[in-house]
């Protein structure tokens, strides 16, 4: 390389130049074997040239040879290439590779990789456990609350956090519990009210049946009383069932109702309730989205209540008026009025005011039904009354807004 001249048959120069210009990689060893000269080698963990038999075999090679050896430094892979000129071996070049150092590096890398993977697996498992715990905790809360509610604790609710699917599940569950609680309370109220109020007519009926005699007139009187109490019990049970149904979602079956013709039709019905000075003051021309049958029942209850608390030929007015986003339907009488202390109590079930306004023929449920119907429509009942100046009950209902979607029934 220095002069550019060919080496010719000078094997020693060729091999010496190769050794001078090339460095072995880690674990590699270069050896040069020239006849009648001391073998030359790069640094090696084990002096392979001390194995005379091996060196002699390599010196006499006429073709390349590869193989492996076991040494004190571990396994060795080698490749021996003879340098031939004119069919004679002028020298041999041997490259040997000691795999032990590389294997140690590989083993170390494998061990390190295994340790890293194991730690990663432990960390991933811990993270997955933590995340799964956070995800499943609300479900566990649902399960725990469900078990508690199964035992009758309807007041329990699941805390709602966020807006994800778990939060939606909690909201749906709480809504279900609300309905269950309402149904349970409705059932208890119905049983309590029925048991309390039916006790009196049942006692009256039992008393008359026990003492009924053979006298036809006495028997007829007793049977008339029994029949009257049975009718009163039937009305009471029907009213209680209506109040119970008013707290159910599908209590109403709504349709758009034009107020003016509706109230005019109502007026013809209320006039048949008693001989009174009936008056109509129908001014409303709006539309309400209502259950006309339930609404009619409420207004008839108000009219019947007015008849019961006015004298013959007393004035009773049925009216309606548009008031902003509401429609007001009212019944006014000129009776004795209601004491201010009883304004809230008159809407309670079986309530008796201080002025004894409740009719002896009634069950005390008429105004409670009126209020239940109003609330079911999203409205309310207002009472304006003073002692000696009559009473005015007003149903305040949401008016139908043109172009707005109707709410579900």
| 85 and 11 Cβ atoms separated by less than 8 Å | yes
Q: For 84-143, what is each residue's pLDDT tens digit?
A: 877 777 788 888 888 766 666 777 888 899 999 999 999 999 999 888 887 777 777 778
The model carries a pTM of 0.51
301 and 369 Cβ atoms separated by less than 8 Å: yes
* Ranges of the chain with pLDDT below 70: 1-12, 45, 72-73, 100-104, 152, 186, 190, 193-197, 200, 247-249, 349-364, 401-409
CB neighbours (10 Å) of residue 180? 12
Q: Are 48 and 58 in contact (CB under 8 A)?
A: no
Tokens of residue 297, six digits: 């029942």
Name the DSSP class of 352.
-
The DSSP bridge partners found for residue 74 are: 71
pLDDT of residue 194: 66
Distance CA 402, CA 289 (A): 11
For the chain, give every domain's residue range: 11-103, 183-245, 252-398
Token pair recorded at residue 52:
């005379």
Q: What is the dihedral of CA 111, 114, 119, 120, to 10 degrees?
A: 140
Which option is the CATH number for 11-103: 3.30.70.250, 3.40.50.300, 3.50.50.60, 3.30.450.20?
3.30.450.20
Give the length of the chain: 409
pLDDT score at 122? 92
Q: Rounded CA gap, 390 and 157, in Å?
A: 46
Give me the pLDDT at residue 90, please.
Answer: 79
Pick the CATH number of 252-398 from 3.60.21.10, 3.30.565.10, 3.20.20.70, 3.40.50.1970: 3.30.565.10
Distance of alpha carbon 42 from alpha carbon 28, whole angstroms = 9
CB 370 within 8 A of CB 298: yes
């Amino acid at each position: 390389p220095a002069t550019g001249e060919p080496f010719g048959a000078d094997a020693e120069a060729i091999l010496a130049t190769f050794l001078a210009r090339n460095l072995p990689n880690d674990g590699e060893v270069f050896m040069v074997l020239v006849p009648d000269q001391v073998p030359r080698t790069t640094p090696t963990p084990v002096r392979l040239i001390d194995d005379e038999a091996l060196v002699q075999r390599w010196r006499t090679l006429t073709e390349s040879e590869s193989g492996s050896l076991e040494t004190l430094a571990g396994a060795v892979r080698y490749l021996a290439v003879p340098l031939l000129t004119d069919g004679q071996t002028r020298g041999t070049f041997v490259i040997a590779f000691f795999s032990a150092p590389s294997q140690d590096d590989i083993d170390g890398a494998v061990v390190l990789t295994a340790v890293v993977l194991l730690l990663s697996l432990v960390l991933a498992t811990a993270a997955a456990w933590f995340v799964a715990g956070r995800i499943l905790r609300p479900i566990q809360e649902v399960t725990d609350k469900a078990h508690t509610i199964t035992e009758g604790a309807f007041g329990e609710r699941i805390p709602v956090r966020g807006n994800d699917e778990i939060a939606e599940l909690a909201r749906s569950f709480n809504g279900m519990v609300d309905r269950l609680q309402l149904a349970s309370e409705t059932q208890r109220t119905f049983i309590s009210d029925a048991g309390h109020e039916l006790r009196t007519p049942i006692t009256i009926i039992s008393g008359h049946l026990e003492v009924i005699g053979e006298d036809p007139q006495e028997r007829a009187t007793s049977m008339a009383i029994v029949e009257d109490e049975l009718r009163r019990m039937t009305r009471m049970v029907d009213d209680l069932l209506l109040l119970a149904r008013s707290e159910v979602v599908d209590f109403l079956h709504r349709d758009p109702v034009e107020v003016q013709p509706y109230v005019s039709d109502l007026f013809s019905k209320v006039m048949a309730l008693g001989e009174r000075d009936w008056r109509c003051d129908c001014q409303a021309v709006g539309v309400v989205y209502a259950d006309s049958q339930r609404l009619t029942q409420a207004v008839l209850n108000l009219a019947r209540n007015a008849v019961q608390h006015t004298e013959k030929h007393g004035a009773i007015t049925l009216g309606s008026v548009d008031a902003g986003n509401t429609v007001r339907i009212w019944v006014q009488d000129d009776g004795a009025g209601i004491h201010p202390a009883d304004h809230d109590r008159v809407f309670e079930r079986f309530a008796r005011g201080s002025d004894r306004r409740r009719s002896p023929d009634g069950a005390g449920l008429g105004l409670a039904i009126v209020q239940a119907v109003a609330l079911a429509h999203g409205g309310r009942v207002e009472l304006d009354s003073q002692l000696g100046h009559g009473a005015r009950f007003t149903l305040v209902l949401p008016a139908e807004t043109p172009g707005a979607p109707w709410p579900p029934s």
